[in-house]
Structure 1
Amino acid sequence: MHKHFKICLIISIAISILVGLYLKSKYDGQANLYWQQAVSLELITQTHQEEHFDLYLKAAKRGHALSQMMIAKFFDQGIVVQAEDQMAFNWYLEAAYRKNITAQYHVGKMFYTGRGVQQDFSLAHLWLKIAAIQNHAGAQYYLAQMYQNGEAVNQDLKLAFKWYLQATIKNHQKAAVLLGKAYYDGYSNEKDYKKIFEWNLLSAEKGAVFSQQLVAKMYQSGAGVNINKSESIKWFKMAAQQGNHKAQEKVANAYYFGAGVKKDLQKSFQWYKRAAAGNSSLVQYKLGQLYYRGIGTKRSVHQSFRWNLRSAMQNNIYAQHRVADAYHFGQGVGKDFKKALYWYQKAAFRGDVKAQNKMARAYQFGKGVAANSRKAFIWHEVAAKQGHVESQLYLGEALSAARGVKKDYDKAYSWYRAAALQDNAEAQNNLGNAYYFGQGIETDHVKAFKWFEKAAKQNHPLAQFMLGVMYHLGNGIKHDEKQSFKWTLLAAKQNIVRAQYNIGLAYYNGRGIKKNKLLSYAWINIAAQNGSAESKKFIYLLKIRLNKADIKLANKLSFEIINKIKSDHPVDVSQLYVKKIPAQS
């Protein structure tokens, strides 16, 4: 019922408008005289605008449409009189009834915006259409908006496109921009990229930022035009110089990578700095990284922290991690493990696998929080499931040693395997042990050898030692004393005590190497100094069989070897015994 009433009301108003247009289309001769006097006075002088106003007002009151338009303009813009929207609307309406197209447009626009009159989309549509069909570009633009948004009419993108096109033909800049966008969005029912490019180029040349960006993107992608990186950057620059922050970021990226322009890190930095004002968390993070690394600007960990913090506050996951690192290591801000943990946790909850690992390590070692092996295990598990190799290794070790969780060799094997497949040498060695000793998997010396070899080739000392043992025993591989000596020596040089003892025995027995009592003594002596009880006993026997000069020379050799080991491997791993593996005889 209400809907029918409104339709009848609109029809009634439309009839009233048409009648009004007819009845008020004429004015008397005196009105025209006042109009001519006002125009003449305005041509002669730009001052005495009060006199202009009075003459226009006299003509307007006598029904002169152009004078009514001028009076409306005075009230609209606050010229001579105080700006008053309602008075402006009333005079525009008077002129609109007298067929003034511009006034009809203003009436429609004011109904559309609700300025000077109660907002009414139906009446806005009516007046705008009257002006639009008389080729008023502004009215055509607003009419297109109404069809696009479905305001007082059913949404009709084809009609929106039609009116944008009509307004653009008359050089309406905003319509040209939206026409280009309409082509791009497919309002015309045709995805003609060539036309999209042509219309957007037209509005881009008139300074429309959206179109400048779209033209740049089309040159970049080759949609509707041949790929041209230089032209792409040219248009991004034009949009960037108008303050468009997304375009500024594009220009910054171009200078950073040398795409379409000569690489220039200083210019890249300057554009990132301008783009960061747009409050993009990603740009702020990038700027923080440039400050941190000193790229295109002087290195400043303080500025890096400042920009990363701004980005982190907007939930940029990378920036949250960097802020956490800054608090952790005291980079640009004082060390604060609790604050570091706060930011690591934020990033971790949002899926940052490295932050998850750092949360785990915090609980593992009690950094910024009380040590808790159970919570450490939980966080390591979260990271491990995302493929973090160190966390996968930790889970394997924790499950093997019942650290924060019940011992479970089967699960330990699974996690060792996951890490080993990512080429982690420690996990490969542990997987080798699992196959060798049958922990979580059936004993298989061939597979054990395979995994020990992978780790050994990555210079893992215990894996090298195990290869020496397996070549010596012929476990999982053909017996080969030369290969046994080769791998055992590599482990011995990395301070594996049992390997040092076995090398001493090899030199003593001539196993895989020519016999050499001095080198035998030297290596046995090194193992003894590193705490090997077997070596201490054996060194006693060797002293009986060597003269004082040989012992002195052997001790000198021991000293030289020890110094070499210390220089090559400064970390003390002297207590890394491999239990269950017998010394080679």
Structure 2
Amino acid sequence: MQSLLAIENLIGTGAYGAVYKARWGGQPVAAKSFFHSQSDLYEKAIQKETSVLQRLRHRHIIQFYRAHEQDGHIFLIMDLAEKGSLASVINTKSGGGKDLLLDWPTKTRLAHEMARGLEYIHQEGVLHRDLKSANVLLTRHMEVKLADFGLAQVRQSMSTGASISYSSAGLVGTLRWMAPELLLDKPKYSSKSDMYALGMVMWEMAANCTTPFKDQPNNVVVLALVQDGRREVLPHDTPAQYRELVEQCWHQNPACRPDASESALMVHDELTDEGRALSDVESALHSLAIAESQQSGHVGRLPQTNDLVVSLFCTQAQEGNLDAQLFLGWIYSHGWGGVVKSVEDSLCWYRKAAGRGNATAQLTLARMYELGQGVEPSDVEAVTWYRKAADYGNAEAQFSLGRLYDYGRGIKEDIVDAAQWYRQAAAQGHVDAQVKMGSWCSLGLGVERNDVEAVNWYRKAALQGNATAQNNLGYMYHAGQGLERDDVNAVAWYRKAAEQGNADALVNLGVMYYHGHGVDQSYIQALGLYRRAAEQGILKAQHCLSSMYEDGLGVEQDYVEAVFWLRRAAEQGDPVAQHNLAKLYLKMEGESPHITLMGQSVEQDHAKAVYWLLKAALQGYAPAQSHLGSVYASGIGVKQSDIVAVIWYKKAAAQSDALAMFNLGCFYYHGRGVEQSYAEALAWHRKSTEHGNEMSPRNIGYMYQVGQTVEQSQVEAVRWYLVAAERGDIQAQLLVSEAFFQGDGVQKNVDKAFRWCRKAAEKSDVDAQLQLGRMYLEEQNDAEAAICRRELYRYDTIPGQQDRVAQGLRSEEDGEKDGQEETRSPRSRCEEIPQRTYAGLEPAGIVVPTHSGAGRRSTFETSGSPPHHVGLCVH
């Protein structure tokens, strides 16, 4: 069964974890995960935030749904704030151009909503303790949602709104937003310290800047300034009451700062007519959410109005007209026709109509109960009213009832029942239900897998203009699932979805142009499509764009731009990009020219390399876990620790990472970080070999050669050396060459000996060239031996090879002098070649898995490279 939670993009990082845009059973949500899994800190962070969020339900507090465990990580599922954080909005608008969104009425309204949120949590006995613009989220309607309660504290005493709490763990929060009393040896937390932070956020909006005391980089100096009573400067055009409230919030004495309720009233009075108009529009969109309790037994009143239309509906409602009762509910909820808004009266009229079988009223009540709009939230009540409306044939109610069965909210989770309700809604033309049925039929969720039926549902939704369905239909055409493969039709449907800005379709259409499938090949077109998707934050598109700039496809080769898009993908949480970026920061000696060229855009920085490796490793990305093990093994950017190295190797090995298995074999062989065990070493090398590692077979061969935990056998040793040699291991190729030349463990075969030695020499290996030269001398071929000698001089220019070349040449010169002093057979000279033994029983160090068949790009893994499609968008 497909997981209910599908992670899409990284939104941002907080005190203890990262927040992702995700889909929960197809619905957009925010999913917060925590760093440092399997630790006490991890457990406490989850318990802390969930315990706070579970008790908070308010219009201006982010809605928490549940905790969900998946792939070894725990996610907190919350409402998605589509506009992101207030900080991101400020930063976007302060980057240049006119500040369209944050005019003064908007800033004032946002401050009012933040104050209302603080007023509520303070009444509930909760202190936020980390209020800043980065922790203030905005919905698509620019409504405030206070978030990130990871550092919040529940007060033990509720006696006064400004009760003080002391932090036994020391200072928590973000220093530049902290009140002066928090910068003492014993911080004194209270609701008034939250009010100081509110003043700082109001300053951020006023100044269009998210970094207080930006010109002072030293936090110690900032601390001293704040304790001395210094504050940031408000812009000269700040409205008077707005300025007054900020200055009151900034008062040095906490007792002189206003409460949240006082602040809300002050800032509300400042709203201009324009601001009130904007607030009214948004209130209309969320009108039913303004009430926090329901008066039991309330009887719906008739509105006092002179509006003739409203009066007519009042008369009809009194006479029992269902449509009129429904409309009165709507009038009260929206304050239409001069009627004063009243959630209580709205609910009463909706109930009257719903009780008499009006499906629209039943649907409205269900939504109110599900979202907690004017009533206590209740998924059970929502299911009851959705079912009533669904039984009357309301398609929206049928879809919503299917969704609650799908999520297991208010009713036992049952995807079969969910599919039945989705199907009923889809049959009535509900476009989201049609997309849902398409994806479920394709995956076999709740129904038998049926690609033909999936295509039919996608087509119905696509013809209604649904971009997701259009993209998925294009994919089905391209993949030949449910119909005959047809790239021309695939391109046509991808194009329709792309024209609506669907990011997955932009990528898929780019892939078609990249390969020339169903359309004339055009790297330029592909590049443009990838860019549009990349700018929407789509990781795969960013990968593709980075790859094209790197290779100069459709654009002039530009490593700086390639690294830019790689970094964008990494910053959004893509583990492959994070791992590749770490390699650039390492700039490892002896790496490929590709690393060198790409690395021109970054300075070597081991600390940043470890940071990005850890980011990728904590997401469970095996190559990064293996690489992190090697970093700890070598002590690059971290304190050297074999024990920690083994931990990360084992995490990667559990995911079948061959290099990690190889390194575990090496560690067990030498007893590094674990108790020495040749048997364990052999076992790990066998596993590594099964997964394609080229070095482990050589190590197994050595263990057979010397008889460690296995019966000594030169024949078996050569057999394993041959496996490694065929996989490209240079040392093994030389060992095989020597074995064939000497007839040791295998029938002597000089031709094969030369062939394997040449394979190694072709890779510019000094030892191979020395061995090849000595073999030619042994065979009395002085001309070829001289050529090998000249090659050695050429290798003297290769970094890191000079010492080996000099040693090899001295060895040959010594051999020539010995030959002048006494007559020696070529055979005896050949025997001076050092016997090659096990050369691989050392950890691979910072060796990363190569991308097979990638040529010069073998240093980098790829995920989302141009040849691959995004695939189906599952709802």
Q: TM-score, normalised by structure 1?
A: 0.59
Cα offsets for 1:466-522 (capped at 9, x unmatched): 9699999x9xxxxx9979867654442235555433433356678xx64x6724663
Q: In 1, distance between residues paired with 2:368 and 2:501?
A: 33
1:534 to 759, 767, 770: 770
Q: In 2, distance between residues paired with 1:577 and 1:469?
A: 31
Q: In 2, distance between residues paired with 1:186 and 1:425?
A: 44
1:359 maps to which residue?
A: 545
Q: Quick one: which amino acid aligns to residue 299 of structure 1?
A: R
Deviation at residue 354 of structure 1 after TM alignment: 3.1
Q: Quick one: which amino acid aligns to residue 403 of structure 1?
A: L
Q: Quick one: which amino acid aligns to residue 516 of structure 2?
A: G
Deviation at residue 417 of structure 1 after TM alignment: 6.2
Deviation at residue 327 of structure 1 after TM alignment: 0.8
Cα offsets for 1:240-275 (capped at 9, x unmatched): 222211122233233333344333221121011101
Q: In 1, distance between residues paired with 2:639 and 2:351?
A: 76
1:450 maps to which residue?
A: 663
1:236 maps to which residue?
A: 422
Quickly say closer, same or farther: Cα 1:396–1:330, change in 2 above 3 A. farther
2:511 counterpart of 1:325? yes
1:261 maps to which residue?
A: 447
1:391 to 574, 580, 594: 580
Quickly say closer, same or farther: Cα 1:283–1:524, change in 2 above 3 A. same
5+ residue gaps, structure 2, are 1-302, 646-659, 667-683, 707-711, 763-767, 782-797, 809-832, 836-875
Q: Quick one: which amino acid aligns to residue 202 of structure 1?
A: K
2:318 maps to which residue?
A: 133
Q: In 2, distance between residues paired with 1:379 and 1:407?
A: 17
2:754 counterpart of 1:524? yes
Quickly say closer, same or farther: Cα 1:323–1:578, change in 2 above 3 A. farther
Q: In 2, distance between residues paired with 1:536 and 1:227?
A: 70
Q: Quick one: which amino acid aligns to residue 575 of structure 2?
A: G
* More relative contact order, 1 or 2 (CA 8 Å, 6+ apart): 2
Aligned positions, number: 429
Contact in 1 for aligned 2:701/2:718 (Cα 8 Å): no
Quickly say closer, same or farther: Cα 1:398–1:178, change in 2 above 3 A. same
Q: In 2, distance between residues paired with 1:342 and 1:190?
A: 49
1:501 to 726, 731, 734: 734
Of the structure 1 ranges 532-541 and 235-244, higher mean CA displacement relative to structure 2 is found in: 532-541
Cα offsets for 1:305-361 (capped at 9, x unmatched): 222222223333222221111111111111000111111222223333333232222
1:89 maps to which residue?
A: none
1:214 maps to which residue?
A: 400
Q: In 1, distance between residues paired with 2:410 and 2:628?
A: 57
Contact in 2 for aligned 1:464/1:488 (Cα 8 Å): no
Structure with bigger gyration radius: 1
Q: In 1, distance between residues paired with 2:637 and 2:348?
A: 73
Q: Quick one: which amino acid aligns to residue 141 of structure 1?
A: L
Q: Quick one: which amino acid aligns to residue 534 of structure 1?
A: L
Alignment of 1:43-122 (within 5 A): 122=307
Deviation at residue 416 of structure 1 after TM alignment: 10
Q: Quick one: which amino acid aligns to residue 494 of structure 1?
A: R
Q: In 2, distance between residues paired with 1:145 and 1:253?
A: 35
Contact in 2 for aligned 1:393/1:427 (Cα 8 Å): no
Cα offsets for 1:543-582 (capped at 9, x unmatched): 369xxxxxxxxxxxxxxxxxxxxxxxxxxxxxx9995778
Alignment of 1:160-239 (within 5 A): 160-186=346-372, 189-191=375-377, 193=379, 195-223=381-409, 229-239=415-425
2:343 counterpart of 1:157? yes
Quickly say closer, same or farther: Cα 1:397–1:533, change in 2 above 3 A. same
2:378 counterpart of 1:378? no
1:492 maps to which residue?
A: 725
Q: Quick one: which amino acid aligns to residue 506 of structure 2?
A: Q
Quickly say closer, same or farther: Cα 1:489–1:363, change in 2 above 3 A. same
Q: In 2, distance between residues paired with 1:543 and 1:381?
A: 55
Q: In 2, distance between residues paired with 1:523 and 1:411?
A: 46
Q: In 2, distance between residues paired with 1:445 and 1:539?
A: 41
Q: In 1, distance between residues paired with 2:441 and 2:398?
A: 19
Contact in 1 for aligned 2:586/2:606 (Cα 8 Å): no
Q: In 2, distance between residues paired with 1:320 and 1:311?
A: 8
Contact in 2 for aligned 1:399/1:408 (Cα 8 Å): no
Contact in 2 for aligned 1:327/1:340 (Cα 8 Å): yes
Q: Indicate the SS of the match to 2:320.
A: coil
Deviation at residue 372 of structure 1 after TM alignment: 2.4
Q: In 2, distance between residues paired with 1:445 and 1:126?
A: 82
2:63 maps to which residue?
A: none
Deviation at residue 394 of structure 1 after TM alignment: 6.1
Contact in 2 for aligned 1:288/1:308 (Cα 8 Å): yes
Contact in 1 for aligned 2:437/2:454 (Cα 8 Å): yes
Deviation at residue 193 of structure 1 after TM alignment: 4.8
2:522 to 310, 327, 336: 336
Quickly say closer, same or farther: Cα 1:199–1:524, change in 2 above 3 A. closer
Contact in 2 for aligned 1:469/1:484 (Cα 8 Å): yes
Contact in 2 for aligned 1:288/1:306 (Cα 8 Å): yes
Q: In 1, distance between residues paired with 2:444 and 2:509?
A: 29
Deviation at residue 277 of structure 1 after TM alignment: 2.5
Q: In 2, distance between residues paired with 1:338 and 1:293?
A: 24
2:817 maps to which residue?
A: none
Q: Quick one: which amino acid aligns to residue 523 of structure 1?
A: A
Contact in 2 for aligned 1:197/1:215 (Cα 8 Å): yes
Q: In 2, distance between residues paired with 1:277 and 1:124?
A: 38
Contact in 1 for aligned 2:363/2:389 (Cα 8 Å): yes
Contact in 1 for aligned 2:610/2:638 (Cα 8 Å): no
Greater share of helix residues, 1 or 2?
1
Quickly say closer, same or farther: Cα 1:169–1:269, change in 2 above 3 A. same
2:597 maps to which residue?
A: 403
Q: Indicate the SS of the match to 2:575.
A: coil
5+ residue gaps, structure 1, are 1-110, 113-119, 475-479, 546-575
Q: Quick one: which amino acid aligns to residue 500 of structure 1?
A: Q
Q: Indicate the SS of the match to 1:388.
A: helix
Q: In 2, distance between residues paired with 1:285 and 1:347?
A: 14
Deviation at residue 146 of structure 1 after TM alignment: 0.7
What is the alpha-carbon root mean square deviation over aligned residues?
4.9
Q: TM-score, normalised by structure 2?
A: 0.41
1:143 maps to which residue?
A: 328
1:37 maps to which residue?
A: none
1:347 maps to which residue?
A: 533
Q: Quick one: which amino acid aligns to residue 346 of structure 1?
A: R
Q: In 2, distance between residues paired with 1:526 and 1:131?
A: 97
